[in-house]
Chains A and B, each alone.
Chain A
Amino acid sequence: MMTIHEALQVLAAERSQRVVITTMAATGIWPKLSDTGLDFAYIPSAMGHGPGLALGLALAHPQRGVILVNGDGSMLMNLGALVTLANHPANVYLVILDNGLYEVTGGQPLVGAGRTDYALIARGAGIERVYTFTDLNQWQSGAREALSGPGPVVIWLKIEGRLGEKTPKPPRPMAEQLARLQAALAQPLV
């Protein structure tokens, strides 16, 4: 098991020049790790629809690659997205933070917590590159491989749940976030 901070620190070190979209609990932590134009806090969001936003961006910018940090609760709201990702190949790296909780609403248990096998679901949806990391050492060792090469990739991370967390606030207004992201996407990859 690892904390959400530890999980995201590894991701920040290995994300390269990819866009990183964060949702829910991760939006409150990520700006402390990275706050460039390529970092997009999807808040306010359409519930469970981070994978769609990532896929659209990845289709529009096929060389860039888009990492989506999704919660397990968000993932369950839209499991069909895994089928869509599998059938429209693009460089999407879907990180599922599995803490078994609705953390941003105070820590209520998730349906299927501890029983749902996201790797099996992803493979069943047709995604070939699926990684599971249950502790920090594994994630540190495997992150670079998981986040390189072609997408779609699903990365399932088991993390510790936190209770009593408040709903995160966006780092800046949405219009400003979008303008920063579009300006960053206009820059060539180096």
Chain B
Amino acid sequence: MLDGPSVVAALRSCGVTHVLWIPDSELGQWESALSSCPELQLIRVCREGEAIVIAAGLMIGGKRPVVMMQCTGFFEAGDALRNVVHDLKLPLFLVLGMRSWKLRDRTFDSCPRFAEPILRAWQLDYTWLGEDDLASAYRRAREAGRAAAVLLPEGSP
């Protein structure tokens, strides 16, 4: 399990300036590290689509934001993602908590069934944390100038 200090170290090494998020129970464990890092501005929002569009404004303004949310919020934020990635063509970078992924063969939760098909439908490149690391994924996406997501496999809701 990636911990908060490791996440902050990875983001700092990439020059990330802002983290926009709505935490879930696993991402939320990074709160203390994220909020106490003076080089990162943590922006708490009300709805996930809002996080994506604030990140767009920051990117247009020359900053390097990262957006963090659970896959459920990602499902909700589809119109914002479509606009920012495919209309504005901005290199949005997301960290998505994939609820119930570790239990996907024995859960009542429908999140694992829809997560990857929806990522593919939105034509968003993605890799899994564990197989990939956060800093490398961010740097690859930035060098390519493309939007991308890294997925954090999670347990039960």
Contact = CB atoms under 8 A, between A and B. Distances in A.
Interface of A: prevailing SS: helix
Given A46-B79, A49-B83, A52-B53, A80 B47 contact: yes
B46 A81 contact: yes
A59 B49 contact: no
Interface string A122-137: 0000000000000000
Contacts of A175: 89
A52 to B, nearest CB: 3
B87 A59 contact: no
B53 A46 contact: yes
B10 interface: no
A61 B61 CA distance: 7
B53 A84 contact: no
Contacts of B60: 53, 56-57, 60, 178, 181-182, 185
Contacts of B54: 52-53, 55-56, 59, 84
Given A51-B50, A57-B57, 18 more contacts: A45-B83, A46-B84, A47-B79, A49-B49, A49-B53, A49-B79, A52-B45, A56-B56, A56-B61, A57-B60, A58-B57, A60-B60, A60-B61, A60-B62, A174-B89, A175-B89, A182-B60, A182-B62
Interface of A: 44-47, 49, 51-61, 78, 80-81, 83-84, 87-88, 174-175, 178, 181-182, 185
